[in-house]
Each structure stands twice: as C-alpha cells, then as structure tokens.
Structure 1
Amino acid sequence: MIKFEVDENALKMIELKLDGMSAKAPDVLKKAINDTAKKLKSDLKIEVKKNYTAKVGGINKAISIKKATNKQIVAVVTATGRPIPLVQFKNVADDSVRAKAIKKNKLKPLTLAGADHNGKDLKSFVAKMSNGHVGIFQRTPGKSMKGNGSRTLKNGKKTKGKDAIKQFYGNSIVKMVGNEHLVYPTVERKANEYLKESLKKHIAKVLEGN
C-alpha cells in the first residue's frame, strides 16, 4: 500500500501561489494527488512486468486507487490478490521441473533429494488436472488422497491411498508490488517529482481561468 498525503504547509504554499484564489487550493491539491496516484499505479504495473517472469493477468484490477477528496486530501494505492501458480512464471518441465520468479535469478530445480518414502528424489512435475487447470505439483509422502485404496510404506506405516500432491505457487501481486528491493522503492522515489509536476499544471490552469 502506498499512502500519499500532503501537510498543511504545502496547502499554504499553494494558496500563496494562487494569489487571491486560495479557496481553490484544496481542489488543486486533490487533483494533483490523484494524478500522482494514477502515475504511481502505472509505474507499479511496469516495474512488476520488468522484474518478474510471470505473465501477470488482471494486474490492472489488482491495483486500486482510493482517490483524494476536497475533505480528505489523501490518496491510497493498494494491491490485492492471491499467490499466483508457479506454472505461470518461467519454468522448464525437465525431470526436476526448474522454475524462477524473478528475472535476474537463475532457474532453480524443485526436486528434493532423497525426500520420498523410498529414499528417492522427490521430483516435481507439470500436470493438467481434470478441471483443466495446469500447474507444477509435487507428491507429499505420508499424506494421502482420499478414496484410492491403502498401501504400506517402507517404514511400515499404511496410507489410505495415493500420495497427496501439493501445488507450487509464486508471489502474489501484493508481494511483487511491496518488494523492498525491486518494485516499491523505484516507484516511491518518483512520487514527489510527480506531485510537483501536477501541482504546477493545476495551479497554472486556475491562474489561466480554466
């Protein structure tokens, strides 16, 4: 979340620049803040696409703006959304299934050495479910799917059916936007610059009679 507001000193400065039209200062400030919030939202989308390998659908809806008003001169840019299936990020469906979420990182194998109930490598795989969903999955020894018959593991324990599977997920848009090393600081640095530009534009419009 990016909360963007301006203190009373800024409002007084705008009133002075408006030269006799101080009553219009709150409206000028509101418009400038909302313009800034809109630009920050656009920058967030650009930075997410620049730094992450996923084809992020619905990012425009995931980032919302609560606009400033004349009574409450505060704008809030907020991101929402659930973790994105890892299959939507860059991946290679080899024996181990390798994947990466951040563009500057290397592909990492998702296989766990010697982790299955027979002491073999626990490999990940890409699969299409009965509902048509495609994802990257891994079996979970010791946990079973329901209704598939029991079987005995190497350690003597019995399961109630086939090994359950878990799906791998990458970051949500919320985490991408809030990344303190990639996205957030790059966008935050531009906020004051955008606000100054917008204030000049809207003050000039009032002085010109628009």
Structure 2
Amino acid sequence: MSESVIQIDEQAEIQKIIRQLNTLPNQLKAPGVLASAINATANEMKRKIGQRTRKRYAISDKKILTDRKQGGMYLERATGTSTEATLISMGGMVEVMAYMTRRNTETTAAMLKVLNESSFVGLGEKRGPKAFVATFESGHTAIVQRVPGEFYTRGRAKREEKYGPKADMTKIRKLMAPAVPMLYGKTYEEATQDYYSILQKHIQREVERVLDGFGRAA
C-alpha cells in the first residue's frame, strides 16, 4: 500500500472542540478528544477498506487480510500528544491459492481468478508449462509450474523410487499473486472519500462523552 496522507487542520479542530466544552478542565481534554476521534475514524476507514477489498477481490484465504505478516492492516493510534493515526499494511506477494483457483485437469492448467468480476484464467497456458496443483512432503499444497532447463539433483533416487524411473526431475516453483498492500491501495481512495464527515461525527461523539462525564484519554 503506497503511502497516503490525510491531513486536517489540527489547531482549528482543537479550537472548535474547546468552544463546545464548558469548563476549563474539560477544555484541557480537547487534544485527547481529537485523538480519540481520529482513532475512531481510522478504525472506521480500516473496516471500510477491508469491506471494499473483500467485495472487489476473489479472496479464498481470508487470513491474508488479518495476518500482519501477510499484509493484514493494523492501526498505530493517535495520542493526546501526537494526533496522528497510521494504518499500516506490509507484506509481499502471496501464493495464488489465497485467491479463488481451480485445479488442473488432464487437459487444462490450474486456473486463477483475482477479481470477483473477472473470469478464471489458465496459468501457464500461453507462456511456459501449464500450472498444476502439487502437495509437498511437508503437506503444504500449492499451485506450481515447472522451470524449463532446471533440474533437481539432490533426492533424485528418492523421487525415482516414489514416481518411477521416468519421473520428471524438472524443478518446480510456486506461483505467486498480488500482495495484500496492493489490494488495499486500489480501494483506499474510494473508501476514504468522506473521511472528514466521519471525523466530525466521531469528534461530536467524543465531545458528548466529555460533557456527560465519560471523557477518556486517547
């Protein structure tokens, strides 16, 4: 997800909050009120981005949207001293089986669908060997493709014993698909179009909490 910054006039927002609070002790809470509202807004944006991403992309492994190691988005919260909230998504490409796939048959390659609105596409039908589903000794299953000109040398006897003397010793590689941060980047702009009105909604809620005696530090 490329870096995108949403800016607000922090001091102007704090002054508007102060004008709504009726006592000096409450007015001193204004930075915390703004920070809490920013955090609530960021969380709402996070939910909206996730919802739009799931709607747009044909994701079969939902864990890639929650696992930080794979790019699941998380929030670094704003505080009363630093009213900056950051949504973070970091991760590399994921295996194609994280998206909707179809197994290979005797005549067709394994197929992949990334966008919900698109059709399945054969993997390796136009370029290179056809992709197929393979299960490794570890038990992990993936869609792979043979690498022409590269061959296994270690474990050759074991492969021949398992698959026969004519076993294909050509190396295989796991096929990869778009990284989660890239998906978020495509839906970020649409999801954050009305961020300012959402921020104002949460500011008002936090102001009311303070006036009702339930104010809390961010």
TM-score range, shorter chain: 0.7 to 0.9
CA contact (8 A) 1:51 1:102 kept: yes
Residue 24 of structure 1: which of 10, 14, 29 is its match?
A: 29
| TM-score under structure 2 length normalisation | 0.78
The residue aligned with 1:197 is 201
- Tell me if structure 2 keeps the 8 A contact 1:36–1:194: yes
Which is richer in strand? Answer: 1
Partner of 2:51 in structure 1? 46
Question: Is the counterpart of residue 123 in structure 1 residue 136 in structure 2?
Answer: no
The one of 38, 41, 44 equivalent to 1:36 is: 41
Q: Which segments of structure 1 move beyond 6 Å, counting only runs of 4 or more?
A: none
When the two chains are superposed, the root-mean-square deviation of aligned CA atoms in Å is 2.2
Q: Residues 199 and 146 from structure 1, CA distance in 2 versus in 1: closer, same or farther, beyond 3 angstroms?
A: same
**Partner Cα distance (2:127, 2:213) in 1:** 75
Q: Is the aligned partner of 1:167 residue 2:174?
A: yes
Please state whether the residue corresponding to 1:50 is helix, strand or coil: helix
Normalized per residue, the structure richer in helix is: 2
Query: What is the letter of the counterpart of residue 12 of structure 2?
Result: N
Deviation (angstroms), 1:167: 1.1
Question: Match for residue 95 of structure 2?
Answer: 85
Distance 1:38 1:143, change over 3 A: same
Distance 1:123 1:58, change over 3 A: closer
- Asked if the contact 1:97/1:109 (under 8 Å) is kept, the reply is yes
Number of matched residues? Answer: 190
- Percent identical pairs in the alignment equals 21
Counterpart Cα distance in 1 of 2:112 and 2:57:
12
In structure 2, the gaps of 5 or more residues are: 158-167
Deviations for 1:106-135, whole angstroms, at most 9, x for unmatched residues?
A: 1111124474xxxxxx21101111111111
- Contact persistence 1:3–1:74 (CA under 8 A): no
Asked whether the 8 Å contact 1:6–1:74 carries over to 2, the reply is no
On the 8 A contact 1:137/1:165 being kept in 2, the answer is yes
Task: Give the TM-score taking structure 1 as reference length.
Answer: 0.81
